[in-house]
Amino acid sequence: MGQQRVLVVARQPGRRAEQRQRLESAGFVTSEAEDPTAAHGLLEGGGIAAVVCCEGGEDGDQWRVLTRHPTAPPVIVVSAEAEVSGAVAAMRDGAADYVAEGAAAGELAAAVARVTEAGPDLVAEDRSSRQLMALAQRVAGKEVTVLITGESGTGKEVFARYIHDRSPRAEGPFVAVNCAAIPENMLEALLFGYEKGAFTGANRAHAGKFEQAQGGTLLLDEVSEIEPGLQAKLLRTLQEKEIERLCGQSSIPLDVRVLASSNRDLREEVRAGRFREDLFYRLHVFPLHLPPLRQRTADIIPLARSFVAKYAQLGGAGEAVLTPEAERLLLQHSWQGNVRELENVIQRALILAEGRSIDAGAIHFEPVPVEGAPGPEPAAPRAPAGGASVRELKPSAAADTEATLEEDLKGREYRRILETLAEVGGSRKEAASRLGISSRTLRYKLARMRQEGFEVPERSGVLYAYGG
């Protein structure tokens, strides 16, 4: 599997060295920069999965500058003085996560893993999974477009990386673009790049994701979220194997393999007029459909064990093991949030487990109960603007509500976002205005909520579940 590269930004060499050591011990590849100016140069080169930026002292709040970079990956703030007000402000202004500098050694690595979707190697024990793996292995060596479909959280990006890593392009870059998490007015510039002066704030030329993936593989994750006008430009790019940057004067030849993924039925999207039929057939050369986890039960325990090993630092007694009773509970669950829900449950179990054994008492599919505290209040159904009815807003996968300040803040933030979206009928622009945040920040937060198994309303008011 390709490794995730993380950029550490801090003015003090000692702070940079400390954070790099934490990340490298967890298996991440790191780079470093002294300030946002140096960081921008590295971001332009691509291949950065996340930025860890120190706050406080000489560093001040320079991380805010990085979040405004047009192609900035998720930015995690490491604060010297963790405060409630600082965490709230950071999340509001676009930070992907907020970690105290004095926190446990594994907390920063866990935060980076969450925002980069760094997962285990492909686990395929179920018969259907083995058949899919065999198909992926066969198509890996062929220069054709692969469309990977399946419910949210089934592991579509893991399969895409598997194909890349076994292709002749394995030594080249693997670049993934979450088309659902990027504002429509920025996605074109992000994909195709732009020349200096192409728009306000374009102070220099920038290579887009297609160029950054030269010699390697580009994954268009949630490709169904691309708006129709941009679909036409994407189709031409796939046909001609060349691009033009925004305001560019010449074409740039491409040597890129394109993979695409979607949690929707693209044929239905074509019939509904939301997705171009010609683009569908251009992407649908070799389709792979990933069944939900509940239909490949033989994968559940091997996946759970791989997550136990991955998040071992969350437990306090070293390497942990699942007891037979705990495994039985995992097999009986329906896993509506698929692999991502399983990952959340295992992380929670490692925190709650006593000693090295993860028993049935540490397995919680619902919010962890706090003695003496009232239970969660059910969300009342709301009708969006336009009169269309919606289902009750609630997470499709159990949220980790361990009684920590961070999770409490996150839970309140998510509820507020969902309530506001319901009130405005799913309009991202109006919801961002009411919440007092930028549209870009809202899009990122919605993408993270989908990754955690929450149901997010579409603009029409219909709800659908995301996760991966």
Tell me what pLDDT residue 450 has.
75
Count Cβ atoms within 10 A of the Cβ of residue 391 and give its class: 0-12 exposed, 13-18 middle, 19 or more buried. exposed
**Range scoring the smallest mean pLDDT among 21-25, 39-43, 206-210, 312-316:** 312-316
In this structure, what CATH number is given to the domain that contains residue 411? 1.10.10
In this structure, what CATH number is given to the domain that contains residue 300? 1.10.8.60
Tell me what pLDDT residue 2 has.
42
Residues 110 and 12 in one domain: yes
Report the percentage of the chain scoring pLDDT > 90: 31
Tell me what pLDDT residue 258 has.
96
Residues 169 and 111 in one domain: no
In this structure, what CATH number is given to the domain that contains residue 258? 3.40.50.300
Q: What are 230-259's pLDDT values in tens digits?
A: 999 999 999 999 999 988 888 999 999 999
Tell me what pLDDT residue 104 has.
65
Short-list 293, 189, 203, 304, CA closest to 248: 189
Domain ranges, residue 110: 5-116
In a domain, residue 400? The reply is no
Rounded to an integer, the average pLDDT of 119-134 is 78
Report CA-CA distances (Å) from 460 to 268, 275, 399, 468: 16, 16, 26, 22
> Phi/psi of residue 6, each to 5°?
-120, 130
Short-list 149, 153, 159, 301, CA closest to 224: 149
Q: What share of the chain is helix, strand, coil (3-state, %, to 5)?
A: 45, 15, 40
Tell me what pLDDT residue 462 has.
30
- Look-up: residue for tokens 């954070």? 19
**Confidence grade of residue 408 (pLDDT, cut at 50, 70, 90):** low
- Residue 119 tokens, joined: 């997962």
pLDDT at residue 391 tops 50: no
Predicted TM-score of the model (pTM): 0.58
Q: How many CB atoms lie within 10 A of CB 249?
A: 7
Q: What is the dihedral of CA 368, 371, 372, 378, to 10 degrees?
A: 20
Number of independent structural domains in the chain: 4
> Pick the residue with more confidence: 143 or 440?
143
Pure H helices in 76-179: 84-92, 105-116, 127-140, 156-165
Residues 286 and 299 in one domain: no
Short-list 350, 364, 362, CA closest to 316: 350
pLDDT at residue 22 tops 80: yes
Average pLDDT value over all residues in the chain: 79
For residue 142, give the DSSP letter.
S
Rounded to an integer, the average pLDDT of 190-214 is 87
Residues 134 and 211 in one domain: yes
CA angle 343, 412, 116 (to 5 degrees): 35
**Confidence grade of residue 39 (pLDDT, cut at 50, 70, 90):** confident
